Amino acid sequence: MVGTVFLNGVYQDAEAKTWAKLTFNERVWIGETPLAIPPLAEIVGGATTDAEAVALVAAYYDTNTSLLAAEFREQDDTRLRGLFGMYIIHIAVPYNVVEVAPVTLLEFVAAPTAHCGTYSVAQSQLYDTLGVEWRIVMVDSGWHGLVEAAVNGKWETFDSTVNVWLSVGVPDLIAGTTRSYRAFYTPIYDANADEVYRRHYIESGGYYNVPALREGLPFWGISVFPARWEITAQSS
């Protein structure tokens, strides 16, 4: 399925990567406090197959549902599952160029880097085991990809690349629909986190800029204008 956005009656086919104009000032450190949730590698530690790994993730969620609800300040179980999966995928692997794309969840956990596509695939694997209906949406011919999840019959955005949740899906974002959003902890903004989390920005001279994407995502359709969206995968 492909959607097209018309603004003021004129089709806006912006070239990929040209419409995100926000910049990242690496001298400024801001962000949410890390949540009391172990990293994905710790949760799946000891697993030798993906089946074992996802079973450990599901078991962790079931055992710690009340704790997670308090940490995320979220009582809706489906949305909580979505936030949990998004969060642990985001903090699992630093963003940067991916030389060899992981195929399995365990390969993702062991990978040195990830990008929006590999984050989204790993996130969808967790959503399958957590019982969350999902779809992967790409914008502007693959400029960015993210996961949406169905919550109470409506699509919401759970972007594990930037660790941001929005109350509506990509089509509604691009259409300028009113939305709420929450931005969760990211190591990129943490001055105490390893430099590897900011290496993508430094090494590319700002060409790869997750902070700009994170800051711009809530304003898609308002001051940031992707032109196209496409569903590339979805749960069965």
What is the pLDDT, as a whole number, of residue 189?
87
Strand 154-159 with 134-139, pairing? unpaired
Dump pLDDT digits (tens) for 78-106.
999 999 999 999 999 999 999 999 999 99
Rounded to whole angstroms, the Cα distance separating 180 from 165 reads 8
For residue 156, what is the enclosing H or E element?
A: strand 154-159
Q: At what angle do helices 77-90 and 65-72 cross, to 10 degrees?
A: 80
Name the DSSP letter for residue 35: P
Q: Would you list the domain boundaries of the chain?
A: 2-234
pLDDT above 70 as % of the chain: 87
What pLDDT is attached to residue 11?
Answer: 30
Quote the distance between the C-alpha of residue 72 and its chain's center: 16
